[in-house]
């Protein structure tokens, strides 16, 4: 561990040492180096974003998710007027980064509807991302063409055996199809791609190794695309699911700091699944992007309780409170770091703050 921390550039072998059980005894040194690296690469900036759930219809049966097709819950798909009302509510709170989220229902939420939504919201939100079912390159291109700049798609677990167990039905049971999605997003030209693993399904160290390799490969292959990583911890969900491999706070800090050292240019996203206390502690160390004030139900910002939520959030502070917390920590909450006007003539970045 000490050798790995001392090396000027953390290589993959060092990373394996940094995530070892023994290394948790050196967490403070690891965090200090991660913090220095985050300041060097990203400054004090933490970008704020909000998810907007378009629909909780889903044809999959992921055992850890409240939207599982087997669960008898109140389902809802927003129409364009309702989406705009939700979006305006977020805009009024300051957000300019919006993540459109949907369950996997191509009938309820066809790609054409997502493209139309993006067109409608573009004047309000210079940065739009999607977290939806996997598409092929042409499908993703149809979103890129209307200004969607970010794609978020988590493998959930990289262990194929566990993957099959927790995704027993629906199109998502195809492990390879999901694994190909970020690559297809890269080919389609997304400016940002976020990958991740849901912690709690299997040994976190296994996920850390696979996630690191996946991110390294994407960075090398799509070097003009900003890659970010996220490692949300699973919570109990509707249907009685409880994670089999819970991850402690210290282990999660160890994992994130080790990933920061191996991947100094990768964004690190921390959602409201984590508690306020945990987020406040980790924000200055390695985080570049945070959600705030999130609702995980369609229509939840303007009509709370009108549909089932995907999971309960832990940090229930308002976006303004989260921004204030960041300022108190000496960080700079950023609501907008991107505009299509920053593009060069070739359609690529002219350079901007990443995160």
Return residues touching ligand SF4 (CB under 6 A). Answer: 58, 60, 62, 65, 67-68, 103-104, 172
Q: Shortest gap between Cβ of 104 and ligand SF4 (angstroms)?
A: 4
Q: Shortest gap between Cβ of 166 and ligand SF4 (angstroms)?
A: 9
Structure tokens at 29: 């040194």
> Which of 4, 237 has the CB closer to ligand SF4?
237
In Å, what is the CA distance from 254 to each residue of 1, 20, 64, 248?
Answer: 12, 9, 24, 10
> Which of 10, 50 has the CB closer to ligand SF4?
50
Q: Shortest gap between Cβ of 329 and ligand SF4 (angstroms)?
A: 32
Q: Shortest gap between Cβ of 298 and ligand SF4 (angstroms)?
A: 11
Distance of CA 318 to the CA centre of its chain: 19
Q: Shortest gap between Cβ of 183 and ligand SF4 (angstroms)?
A: 19
> Which of 175, 338 has the CB closer to ligand SF4?
175
Q: Which residues contact 83 (CB under 8 A, 6 or more apart)?
A: 52, 54, 117, 120, 121
What DSSP state is assigned to residue 150? E
> Which of 51, 333 has the CB closer to ligand SF4?
51
Biggest CA pair distance of the chain: 57
Residue 222 CA neighbour count, 13 Å, CB half: 22
Q: Which residues contact 132 (CB under 8 A, 6 or more apart)?
A: 100, 101, 102, 104, 109, 114
> Which of 104, 315 has the CB closer to ligand SF4?
104
C-alpha to C-alpha distance for 64 and 104, rounded to whole angstroms: 15
> Which of 133, 222 has the CB closer to ligand SF4?
133
Helix (H) or strand (E) holding 195: strand 192-196
Helix (H) or strand (E) holding 254: helix 249-262
Sign of CA dihedral 110, 313, 292, 225: negative
- Reading phi first (left if > 0) and then psi (alpha if -120 to 50, else beta), residue 82 is in alpha
> Which of 67, 175 has the CB closer to ligand SF4?
67
Q: Shortest gap between Cβ of 60 and ligand SF4 (angstroms)?
A: 4
> Which of 106, 317 has the CB closer to ligand SF4?
106
Q: Shortest gap between Cβ of 172 and ligand SF4 (angstroms)?
A: 5
Q: Shortest gap between Cβ of 162 and ligand SF4 (angstroms)?
A: 14
DSSP, collapsed to helix, strand or coil, labels residue 51 as strand
């Amino acid at each position: 561990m000490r050798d790995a921390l001392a090396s000027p550039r953390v290589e993959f072998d060092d990373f394996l040492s940094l995530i070892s059980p023994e290394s948790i005894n050196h967490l403070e040194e690891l965090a200090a180096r991660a913090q220095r690296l985050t300041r060097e690469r990203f400054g004090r900036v933490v970008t704020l974003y909000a998810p907007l759930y378009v629909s909780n219809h889903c044809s999959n049966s992921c055992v850890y998710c409240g939207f599982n097709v087997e669960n008898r819950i109140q389902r809802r798909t927003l129409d364009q007027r309702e989406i705009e009302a939700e979006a305006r509510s977020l805009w009024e709170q300051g957000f300019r980064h919006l993540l459109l989220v949907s369950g996997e229902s191509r009938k309820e939420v066809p790609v054409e509807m997502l493209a139309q939504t993006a067109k409608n919201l573009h004047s309000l939100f210079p940065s739009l991302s999607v977290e939806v079912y996997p598409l092929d390159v042409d499908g993703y291109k149809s979103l890129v063409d209307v200004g969607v700049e970010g794609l978020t798609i988590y493998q959930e677990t990289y262990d194929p055996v566990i993957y099959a167990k927790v995704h027993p039905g629906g199109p998502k049971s195809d492990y390879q199809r999901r694994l190909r999605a970020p690559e297809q997003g890269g080919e389609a030209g997304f400016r940002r791609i976020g990958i991740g693993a849901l912690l709690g399904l299997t040994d976190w160290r296994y996920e850390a190794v696979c996630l690191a390799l996946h991110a390294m490969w994407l960075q090398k292959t799509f070097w003009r695309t900003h890659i970010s990583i996220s490692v949300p911890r699973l919570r109990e969900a509707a249907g009685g699911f409880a994670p089999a491999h819970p991850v402690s706070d210290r282990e999660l800090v160890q994992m994130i700091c080790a990933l920061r050292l191996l991947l100094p240019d990768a964004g690190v996203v921390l959602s409201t699944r984590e508690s306020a206390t945990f987020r406040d502690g980790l924000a200055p160390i390695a985080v570049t992007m945070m959600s705030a004030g999130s609702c995980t139900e369609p229509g939840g910002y303007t009509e709370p309780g009108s549909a089932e939520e995907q999971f309960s959030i832990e940090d229930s502070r308002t976006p303004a409170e989260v921004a204030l917390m960041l300022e108190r920590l000496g960080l700079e909450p950023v609501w907008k770091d991107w505009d299509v006007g920053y593009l060069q003539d070739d359609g690529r970045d002219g350079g901007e703050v990443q995160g």
